[in-house]
Amino acid sequence: MRKNIVAGNWKMNKTLQEGIALAKELDGALASEKQNCDVIICTPFIHLASVTPLVNPVKIGVGAENCADKESGAYTGEVSAAMVASTGAKYVILGHSERRAYYHETVEILDAKVKLALTHGLTPIFCIGEVLEEREANKQNEVVATQLASVFSLSKEDFSKIVLAYEPVWAIGTGKTASPAQAQEIHAFIRSLVAEKYGKEVADDCSILYGGSCKPSNAKELFANPDVDGGLIGGAALSVADFKGIIDAFN
Ligand code: 13P
């Protein structure tokens, strides 16, 4: 059975002290409640070692927002998958559109990152999604198929360990959300590609999250779709009230 997941992506927000306070507040808010989904917070690298021991691992998984495409060595400023895992973090966001666009992450780089993450026991949350011009030209299926193909070099066993996130770039931080019907249509298409490549069982078990201006007011409608298994949340993950409002969409 696939998991429902609500994952926060803090991006480049929150000082260490603010991040610790946010994680503690979220941990407190979820402590006495039964959740119907897995909850993950993906934080800047420097927060990981402080945040992981602060949260109840049964309730909240912690992840990074990136990792290096090299194992170790003379790569000044980089943080390896092994280092991320050594903090107790269990997840890593890879292929986010901001990394692809601003840091020129190519298919080859992402392939190396995904494989290193898996080698070190991290679950990649692999992001795909089209830009506005591609949506307007009705090329979204083509774009996500190409992006997805870069993780289709994984073995069936390894692919089964990853989480996918569909994030239309035109919906990220813009306040424009994909309609529930748009999300369902492309999530179903993504799942059909996974089924073609790895078979129905792997496809049925694969969690596909929606990301892009997801908020408490639209989460329930988005998550009600059979192929939308939760969300990858940016702005609304920076406030416990909003993030919890989205988690509660599964209750
Ligand atoms: P917003 O929720 O701020 O639109 O960001 C989505 C996102 O990019 C999550 O990775």
pLDDT at 1: 82
Mutate to test the pocket of ligand 1, among 167, 177, 238 (most ligand atoms within 8 A of CB): 167
Ligand 1 contact via 65 beta carbon (within 6 Å): no
pLDDT at 33: 85
Task: Copy the structure tokens of residue 10.
Answer: 């803090």
Ligand 1 contact via 232 beta carbon (within 6 Å): yes
Question: Is 243 strand, coil or helix?
Answer: helix
Residues assigned a catalytic role: 96, 167
Ligand 1 contact via 95 beta carbon (within 6 Å): no
Mutate to test the pocket of ligand 1, among 176, 214, 242 (most ligand atoms within 8 A of CB): 214
CA atoms of 37 and 21, how far apart (whole Å): 23
CA atoms of 190 and 227, how far apart (whole Å): 9
Ligand 1 contact via 209 beta carbon (within 6 Å): no
Residue nearest to atom 1 of ligand 1 (CA): 234
Q: Yes or no: say if 9 and 223 are a contact pair by the CB < 8 Å rule.
A: no
CA atoms of 63 and 124, how far apart (whole Å): 9
Q: What average pLDDT values come out for the chain (251 residues) when binned by 10 residues?
A: 96 98 98 93 98 97 98 98 98 98 96 98 98 96 96 97 97 92 98 98 98 97 98 98 98 90
